[in-house]
Amino acid sequence: MIKNIAVIKGDGIGPEIVDEAIKVLKKVEEVYEHTFNLNYVKAGGEAIDAYGECLPEATVEACLASDSVLLGAVGGPKYDVQPPNNRPEKALLGIRSRLGLYSNLRPAKLFTELKDASPLKPEIVEAGIDFMVVRELTGGVYFGDHVTTSENDVEVAYDVMKYSAPEVIRIAKVAFETAMVRNKKLCSVDKANVLDSSKLWRKYVLEVAKDYPEVELTHMYVDNAAMQICKDPAQFDVILTENMFGDILSDEASMITGTIGTIPSSSLGEGTRGMYEPIHGSAPDIAGQNKANPIGTILSVAMMLKYSFFMEKEAQAIETAVQKVLDDGYRTGDMMDKHTTLVGCKEMGDLIVAAI
Amino acid sequence: MIKNIAVIKGDGIGPEIVDEAIKVLKKVEEVYEHTFNLNYVKAGGEAIDAYGECLPEATVEACLASDSVLLGAVGGPKYDVQPPNNRPEKALLGIRSRLGLYSNLRPAKLFTELKDASPLKPEIVEAGIDFMVVRELTGGVYFGDHVTTSENDVEVAYDVMKYSAPEVIRIAKVAFETAMVRNKKLCSVDKANVLDSSKLWRKYVLEVAKDYPEVELTHMYVDNAAMQICKDPAQFDVILTENMFGDILSDEASMITGTIGTIPSSSLGEGTRGMYEPIHGSAPDIAGQNKANPIGTILSVAMMLKYSFFMEKEAQAIETAVQKVLDDGYRTGDMMDKHTTLVGCKEMGDLIVAAI
Ligand SMILES: CC(C)[C@H](C(=O)O)[C@@H](O)C(=O)O
Ligand SMILES: CC(C)[C@H](C(=O)O)[C@@H](O)C(=O)O
């Protein structure tokens, strides 16, 4: 197959982790006889440096013209002086909305080899951590009106957390479909005891549930969910939630696996074009030192192959290769413990490429 | 001193835990020669049962006429059939807003004796968990407009997350004052990279900071805070945040201590009148079985004595008594492990009373 991929390296460790992911893509290309055309474009800090704006229209167009987008990470303290609407993270929000990527999947899965890295105690970790957070990505308080104004000479600011029925329905479908290919358990997280948008959320999740009688659906308040993720993560199979709650809970979920450097994510819309990126940030403190963990980005490539290109066995080959390299005891600095072998970002990439 | 206390027992385990807290109050009354006049009033489910409404005006008036309010817990599945505006939790929100209780303090503190109950691993727990969450309680998305409507024949719902400068300033002052009597470290949590209300929040927190040069102020995004609370809770002294983020993070913070049954809270406004309640819920599954943990409520009484009545040594006496009973190995079911002695809710109350 021939696929066109827009590549955004981004800032901080972005370029080095993306370089390793590209090596993996090239290996897959070779072994499985595909053609991946890579179109390098800029967004975030690197775009501010090159063009003065965090998300040039040309980048959006390149993404729209591609079959999928691979992104490293954006942001860094250097850009704190930029006006709020030209910060690197605005590029991320802009791509999500311009590409209509309403469905963000973030797996929280513990690699057995890395279980000591979890902040949770062994009894809890041993029960297993393997769930998927399905986060709505183009609605809610992120994309409602943002207003700073003055009322009776007092400065006030507000943000509008808004959802429509169709927005809830389409993401609920994604979550139910995800549950169907997993263990058929879905926990929808909201704050329906306080928020109208959550009441609407719950109503339409229940509506969609009618089409998925096999899926066991539960509802949980977001405050309780924040507790349960620490207390008993094994109870979860798929968590469905709105944008802001998903931001908070998916970060907490990734942290309990202990190795956020290994966690990929997908962001999809109506079609098969998605954006794929590791969930960690741009880690400016270790940028350019060959210390970064490329696994989150490499597994993001695996997600791309699976969800956007339907290349199941190619995706599986990458996942198996990562597993093998971890089994063999190789670790980047963030995953090290005393029984393992330290390797750099490049070496980790090479090891994974060799294992495919 | 003579103090008038409005007492709301509430639902589920509410009555039994409040009964134990009252025993403690009576002991303090006797030992330290105070007079606590108790005015029992109803809110939440018990008020729905008795009067058909979750927050009768008479209850609000009794609270307003009191020197402080003690509350057990409200809510239960029995009330799920009530219309949304007559649910037990609306009583809580109503009291907060009618009494102007904008400042909610929730300590996350691990009792050394209970460290095995924490879901975190020993290395992390041993570094210590002892911080205070200062949550804004009468603003933000809880109290902005809640609207469900239809736009172009599509059902939509929204909630408005709103803050004004004075609202931020007054809660920031509470947080800085709290930091001043602790370890002088304050972490303000927001989502200023996305929300206008968070930008305003950060601006006025920085403003208030000028009056507290001794306090080391940091800012953290809420998603990162959700991670850091699991990863390295020892880094925190005081966390300041808005209403919804505070709801989520304070629950996560209480969970990592492992024993949410022991955590009290205070809610204060401009004056000294506060509402004091344990942070746990009404636990209908164990209600009326003498199994509940009364410590969260008893320590809420200690907070009341300290923050509303300035009875420092009386509050200290209660805290010391709780510590002693735990040292002696007594536990309610939620805190049990194999080296300790199981006691019921009443017996736990008696033991603490005896230790004062
Ligand atoms: C950078 C920020 C705007 C973004 C978000 O809040 O969505 C990030 O935290 C994420 O989760 O991808
Ligand atoms: C019951 C609910 C409305 C309440 C809240 O969200 O504030 C509770 O979770 C709390 O934290 O006191």
Of B119, B157, B196, the CB nearest to A197: B157
Chain A nearest CA to B198, separation (Å): 8
Of B141, B147, B227, the CB nearest to A251: B227
A164 alpha carbon – ligand 2 mean position (Å): 25
Tell me if chain B has a CB within 8 Å of the CB of A184: no
Determine whether A130 is an active site residue: no
The label of the residue with tokens 């802009």 reads A94
Cβ of A137 closer than 6 Å to ligand 1, yes or no, is: no
Q: Whose CA is nearest to atom 9 of ligand 1?
A: A247
Q: How confident is the model at residue A58 (pLDDT cuts 50, 70, 90)?
A: very high
Residue A28 clears pLDDT 90, i.e. is over it = yes
**In the structure, which protein residues have their CB atom closer than 6 angstroms to any atom of ligand 2?**
A 193-194, 223; B 89, 92-93, 247
Chain B 24-53, residues with CB within 8 Å of chain A CB atoms: none
Query: The whole model's pTM is what?
Result: 0.96
Strand stretches in B169-316, DSSP E: 185-190, 216-221, 238-241, 264-268, 274-278
Tell me if chain A has a CB within 8 Å of the CB of B199: yes
Q: How confident is the model at residue B271 (pLDDT cuts 50, 70, 90)?
A: very high
Determine whether A350 is an active site residue: no
Of B159, B230, B251, the CB nearest to A197: B159
Chain A 286-345, residues with CB within 8 Å of chain B CB atoms: none
Residue A234 clears pLDDT 90, i.e. is over it = yes
The pLDDT assigned to B337 comes to 85
Judge: A156–B165 Cβ closer than 8 Å, yes or no: yes
Q: How confident is the model at residue A112 (pLDDT cuts 50, 70, 90)?
A: confident
The pLDDT assigned to B93 comes to 97
The pLDDT assigned to A322 comes to 97
Sorted by where each starts, the structural domains of chain B and their CATH numbers stand as 1-103+284-356 (3.40.718.10), 119-257 (3.40.718.10)
Judge: B196–A251 Cβ closer than 8 Å, yes or no: no
**Tens-digit pLDDT profile for residues B23-76:** 999 999 999 999 999 999 999 999 999 999 999 999 999 999 999 999 999 999
The pLDDT assigned to A170 comes to 98
**Mean per-residue pLDDT of chain A:** 97
The pLDDT assigned to A31 comes to 98
Residues of chain B above pLDDT 70, percent: 100
The pLDDT of B106-118, averaged and rounded, is 92
B34 alpha carbon – ligand 1 mean position (Å): 53
From the number of C-beta atoms within 10 Å of its C-beta (0-12, 13-18, 19+), residue A335 rates as buried
The pLDDT assigned to B338 comes to 86
The pLDDT assigned to B327 comes to 95
Judge: A157–B166 Cβ closer than 8 Å, yes or no: no
Q: How many CB atoms lie within 10 A of CB B309?
A: 19
Cβ of A92 closer than 6 Å to ligand 1, yes or no, is: yes
From the number of C-beta atoms within 10 Å of its C-beta (0-12, 13-18, 19+), residue B228 rates as buried
**Mean per-residue pLDDT of chain B:** 97
Residue A84 clears pLDDT 90, i.e. is over it = no
Chain A nearest CA to B345, separation (Å): 24
The pLDDT assigned to B14 comes to 98
Nearest to A264 by CA among A304, A320, A324: A304
Rounded to 10 deg, the angle between the B222-231 and A243-257 helix axes is 30
Calpha distance A143→A160 (Å, rounded): 8
Calpha distance B315→B307 (Å, rounded): 9
b/e map A222-233, b = 16+ CB within 10 Å: bbbbbbbbbbeb
Residue A338 clears pLDDT 90, i.e. is over it = no
Catalytic residue among B196, B223, B232, B328: B223
Residues of chain B above pLDDT 90, percent: 96
**Tens-digit pLDDT profile for residues A131-160:** 999 999 999 999 999 999 999 999 999 999
Has B224 been labeled as part of a binding site? no
Nearest to B242 by CA among A141, A90, A253, A102: A141
The pLDDT assigned to B154 comes to 97
Residues A336-342: contacts with CB within 8 Å, 24+ apart? Answer: A337/A116, A337/A117
Q: Whose CA is nearest to atom 6 of ligand 2?
A: B247
B-chain residues near A248 (CB < 8 A): 222-223, 226, 245, 248
Q: What are phi and psi of B344, to 5 degrees?
A: -85, 180
Q: How confident is the model at residue A173 (pLDDT cuts 50, 70, 90)?
A: very high
Q: How confident is the model at residue A337 (pLDDT cuts 50, 70, 90)?
A: confident
Residue A162 clears pLDDT 90, i.e. is over it = yes
Note whether A162 and A131 are within 8 A (CB). no
Catalytic residue among A32, A251, A330, A346: A251
The pLDDT assigned to A311 comes to 98
Choose one of B11, B79, B82, B89 to mutate for the ligand 2 pocket test, by most ligand atoms within 8 angstroms of C-beta.
Answer: B89
Structural tokens at position B93: 């929100």
- Return the residue of B nearest to A254 by Cα: B227
Structural tokens at position B310: 């300035």
| Distances B194 to A84, A144, A160, B41, B354 between C-alpha atoms, Å | 9, 11, 12, 43, 53
**Tens-digit pLDDT profile for residues B211-269:** 999 999 999 999 999 999 999 999 999 999 999 999 999 999 999 999 899 999 999 99
Atom of ligand 2 nearest to the CA of B265: 12
